[in-house]
Structure formats: structure tokens, C-alpha cells
Amino acid sequence: MTTRIHASAIVAAFAASAISVSAHHTISTIYDVTQRVTLKGTIAEIEWKQPHVMIHLDVTTNKGPVVRWDVETQAPNVLRRHGILQGFATPGETVGVTVCLAKDGGAKGWLSAIMLPAGTTNLSAGGC
């Protein structure tokens, strides 16, 4: 009886962890993969850390004020596997980004592509 209870607990734990991992990696829970926008701005900061690399981009709007956009992309190890290494871009550079917009309407998005001064780099690695 004890063995069955332990086995059931282990199976339940694996099932729960699989659900949470799957939910974590589904960008469509946070971002609308059907709504993309292209922005041009200056990189303020790049956070090269887990769980995802974040690019903070200062974008000047048509009305004048600068809006800080938080652009999320894949994990550092995923980017490395695609040949994108830390230092691929630096703060102060002007770049263009195409992102899937956040469902909550905030100034954030999931990176689809980035236009660096030297050319386009796709950082989505299977994203939107």
C-alpha cells in the first residue's frame, strides 16, 4: 500500500511539473502572437540571465515622450545554441525590433526579430 501511495505521488509530481513547464514556455499566454509591431529605439540595457534574456529599449513615440519597452526573448542557452552570444548588441545602439505585443497592453513584447546596425538577427528561435 505504501509503495502505491509513493508511486502515485511521484506520478502526480511529474504530471504537475510537466504542466507548469509547458505553461512557462507557451508565449501565447502572455503575448498575442497575432499582433506584431515594429519599433525603433535605443538599447538601454540587456539582461542576459535566466529564464529569458530581456532587452530594455527606449522608444520615442510620435507624441514625443520616450517609452521604455521590455522586450523578452529566449533563455541565454537557447540563444547560444543559435550562435547569438552575450554582447551581440550593446547599450546605446539604435536598433529596430519586431515583437508580438503583450496581451495586457503594456509596453512589452516577445522578440520576433531585431535589426542591428550590422544587419538582421532573428532571436526568436521558434518564438512568435
Residues 125 and 82 sit within 8 Å (Cβ to Cβ): yes
| Model pLDDT for residues 48-94, shown as the tens digit of each residue | 999 999 999 999 988 889 999 999 999 999 999 888 889 999 999 99
pTM of the full predicted structure?
0.76
Q: Considering only the top CATH level, what class is 29-121?
A: mainly beta
| pLDDT at residue 8 in the model | 40
What sections of the chain are H helices per DSSP? Answer: 2-24, 76-81
Quick one: pLDDT band at residue 126, thresholds 50, 70, 90? Answer: low
